[in-house]
Amino acid sequence: MNYFVLLNDVRKGPFTMEELAKKYITADVLVWHEGMSDWKKAGEMEELQDIIKQMPPDPPRFKLLKNYLTESIAATGVCAILAYLPMFQICLLGVPFGIIAIIKSLKVQEYQKKGDTEMARHYANEARKWTTWCVFAGIVACIFAIVGMTLLFILGIFLWEKLPFFN
């Protein structure tokens, strides 16, 4: 009997049982042979169990952690841009938090490449924390700027009427 396998989304074959035993197939590889209505995982086919048992198990999949790099850059950039507006220079207070968040985010990538998941997770949590502080500082700074402008406007209206040369 001839078998076809699907490896990396490419159909390969036909292979005899002896040829299939030399291929690196695992229980999750899709297999088809004449007479089957649809593809099946090799692990579900009784006649392939001996071949699959010869293979080592699939290596563990390395899940990438969220590093918050995009968020930290965006938050830092927004704080820096807002500081160019009149009365919003206070928004610069969020920039140091954002820079720390960016550095922590880059550490996540560094430790993931090394395979140190524990340290990568630690720095991912740190990056999230510092990004949150950056956003919080930016929002508080904007509120202070808006309140300050409002108070200056009200004070200006009050003083405008008190100026002697306008009476």
Model confidence pLDDT, tens digit, residues 43-72: 888 888 888 766 666 666 667 789 999 999
pTM exceeds cut of 0.85: no
Helix extents (H) in 47-86? 49-54, 69-82
**Given a cut of 60, is residue 157 above it in pLDDT?**
yes
Q: What's the rounded mean pLDDT across residues 81-99?
A: 91
Q: Is the pLDDT score of 167 beyond 60?
A: no
pLDDT of residue 57: 61
Q: Which has the closest alpha carbon to 25: 40, 6, 11, 2?
A: 6
Residue 3, phi then psi, degrees to nearest 5: -115, 145
100 pLDDT more than 80: yes
Average pLDDT of every residue of the chain:
87
The CA distance from 52 to 31, in Å, is: 12
CA gap 127, 102 in Å, rounded:
7
